[in-house]
Structure 1
Amino acid sequence: MYHPYFRGKQFELITIREMATLLAEKNFVPVIEPVREALGGLKKTLGAVCAAGGRAIVVVNPYHGDHQEDGTSITGLLQEGFIGAGNIAAGILLRSDMTVDDVMACYEHHADHHPVLVHAGFTAPKALAAELEDGMPGLTNIFIEDHAKLLYRKHFSQSTRILVRDGFKRLRNADYPEMEEFSDLHVTYGDLGMAGFGDFLIVGDVYSEGGGPAYAVAIHLTFIDPDKDDVMYIYHFVSDTKDTPTDPAGKFAQALAKLIAKLDSGNSHVLETGAIKEFRDLHAKGHFPGLGYVKKLSMKHHIETLADYLG
């Protein structure tokens, strides 16, 4: 059903570990594109997913980060630690620089890890579908919507199809509007002929290694509006101070005060999740846990919101 797409940075992996039980209960399947050379955190995360009885897809040929030239260490991790683990699948990222032969070679190399194809710029869908025809009914295809439009996806209609939409419009923190639409895919994916849907949470598909000092601090919170056909929207709570790289704790306090005021207004539509409880605790204590931790809370809230909606 829901396939959140994570780049495997520290706080993304921690989010998956801390949410492993809920992800498993709801049959949510995280897609993880490892971007850090050290794979200890990924191994620990996959262990937590397995222990909870959940599933995950690990991209073995990442486009971003430390493994973009060579993903053999990721394949090695799957083969050493997760051989026979039917709940951990190898994700093969299909980019514009790959041929059908490249895809099939990678697919066959990972045949014992239930390969899943992640379409993200590939340009020969018809030829690939012809190669995969016999195995199509047992195959899962994940489409990054910006790279795989309707005609492209039709070639794989005999398979299990998942559509991933990037609902997060990345801007400088200082430039975010107070609120904007995020996605309606959690409502409409079935109408589009999909078996499931995904997104890039509150991070977006634009990859960055982690920026410099934050001139403004923004807290991103998603919510589903029952008055607007259950469309998901996103609040951006931005600090008032935006013109200096110093005092992230003070800026976080400004943004958090806006978040709490919105929650307490009674008309926010924000679900009171476990992550919201943590935001309330941080506000009560006047504590700044670091920007990575804040991002983790926003990701957890997003997953908890969809878990509640999808019941």
Structure 2
Amino acid sequence: MYYPFFRGKQFEFLAIRELAPVIARAGFTPIIEPVHESFTTLNRTLDELILHGATSTVIVNPRHGAYKDDGEDLAAELRDVFGDNDAVIPALLLTPTMSLERARALITQYEERPFTVIHAGFSDGKGLAEHLPDTDITHVFLDAQNTLYRRPFRGGRRVLISDGFIRKKNADYDEVDRFSDLHVTYSELGGDGYGDFLTVGDFFAQGGGPAYAVAIHLTYIDPSQDDQMFVAHFKSDSNDTPLDPAGKFSQALNKLVAKVDEPNSPVANTSAVREFQELHERGHFPGLGYVKKLSIKHHIETLAGFHGRV
């Protein structure tokens, strides 16, 4: 049903592990693009998902991070540790620069087991569809709007991904942006599932500079707007210098708590929201990575609640 797309950063792995029981109960399938060279955190995260009965999908030829030029070591590690365990499904990422011959060669390595094809701008969809094996394939389309490209892929499961998070400088966010309605409309669009890039967006960078502004992002579903999802941005006020990130976080957190405490607030009362409230009561700044982790957890819990699978 829901396929959240992770880039495998530390705070993302923490969010997955802490929510492994929720992910399993909801029947969600995380898609992970490993971007760091160490296998330890990835394997620990996959083990936690398996422990709770969840299925995950791991891209074996990432286009970002440590394995963007050669994913052979990653693929070998996954084979050695997890073998043919169908709880860890290999995924092949097909990009605009990949030839049809290269795509077919990659697929041949996995055609004896369930696998996933992630269509990320690949150009020859019709040619690919003509040569796909008759096996258990999940097709993930990163451009949910490109219905013409999807047309040849009739067999297997079809998952539609859209990036609902429009990334800006923290100080430039509006109070609320529309996020997506794909959780409501994916089946009408011919999908068997849907996904997004959470409250991170389809963006990757190693590290980052100092934050002049702090923004906390919380998604919510509005029943009065046909169950569309929106994202609220709670921003700091003193944004002229990168000094005092703890103070900036406190300013943003004050706004968040005021919003979620409103009567009939549309923001779901998730474990992540309760932790934000606890941080507010304690006056504690846990670091910006931790804040991103809570934002991701809240997003997943909100969708689990929407589907009645908390």
TM-score, normalized by the shorter chain, greater than 0.5: yes
Partner Cα distance (1:39, 1:248) in 2? 31
**Residue ranges of structure 2 left out of the alignment (5+ in a row):** none
Q: How many residues align?
A: 308
Whether contact under 8 Å (1:252, 1:288) holds in the other structure is yes
What are the within-5 Å matches in structure 2 for residues 37-48 of structure 1? Answer: 37-48=37-48
Instruction: Give yes or no for the alignment of 1:289 onto 2:286.
Output: yes
Residues in 2 aligned to 1:216 and 1:268: alpha-carbon distance in whole angstroms = 25
- Aligned residue for 2:251? 254
Is the aligned partner of 1:53 residue 2:53? yes
Give CA deviations for 1:113-169 in whole Å, capped at 9, x if unaligned.
Answer: 52200000100000000001x516x311000016x6000011112221000000000
State the SS of the aligned residue for 1:135. coil
Q: Is the 8 A contact 1:90 1:113 kept in 2?
A: no
What does residue range 65-144 of structure 1 map to in structure 2 within 5 Å?
A: 65-111=65-111, 114-132=114-132, 134-135=133-134, 138-144=136-142
- Gapped regions of structure 1 (runs ≥ 5): none
Q: Give the drift of 1:24.
A: 0.9
Contact kept, 8 Å, 1:88 with 1:113, in 2: the verdict is: no
Q: Which residue of structure 2 lines up, in the alignment, with residue 237 of structure 1?
A: 234
TM-score normalised by L of structure 1 = 0.97
Structure 1 letter corresponding to 2:168: L
CA distance in 1, matches of 2:167, 2:195: 17
296 and 113 in structure 1: CA distance in 2 versus 1, 3 angstrom threshold = farther
- 1:160 is aligned with what amino acid? R
> Within 2, Cα distance between the matches of 1:257 and 1:29?
33
Q: Is the 8 A contact 1:184 1:232 kept in 2?
A: yes
Q: Greater CA deviation, 82-91 or 194-203? A: 82-91
Higher RCO (CA-CA < 8 Å; seq separation 6+): 2
- TM-superposition CA deviations, 1:28-51 (whole Å, max 9, x none): 000000001111100100111111
Query: Partners of 1:77 and 1:4 in 2: how far apart?
Result: 23
CA RMSD in angstroms comes to: 1.2
Deviation at 1:112, TM superposition (A): 5.1
CA distance in 2, matches of 1:7, 1:16: 12
> Equivalent pairs: percent with the same residue?
50
The answer as to 2:255 corresponding to 1:269 is: no
Question: Which residue in the other structure is 2:19 paired with?
Answer: 19
Give the structure-2-normalised TM-score. 0.97
Equivalent residue in structure 1 for 2:301, among 291, 300, 304 = 304
SS in 1 for 2:134: helix
Distance (whole Å) between structure 1 residues aligned to residue 130 and residue 206 of structure 2: 38
Displacement after TM superposition at 1:267 (Å): 4.0
Q: 1:234-265, CA deviations, whole angstroms, 9 ceiling, x for partnerless residues?
A: 00000001110111100000000000111122
Instruction: Look up the match of 1:197.
Output: 194
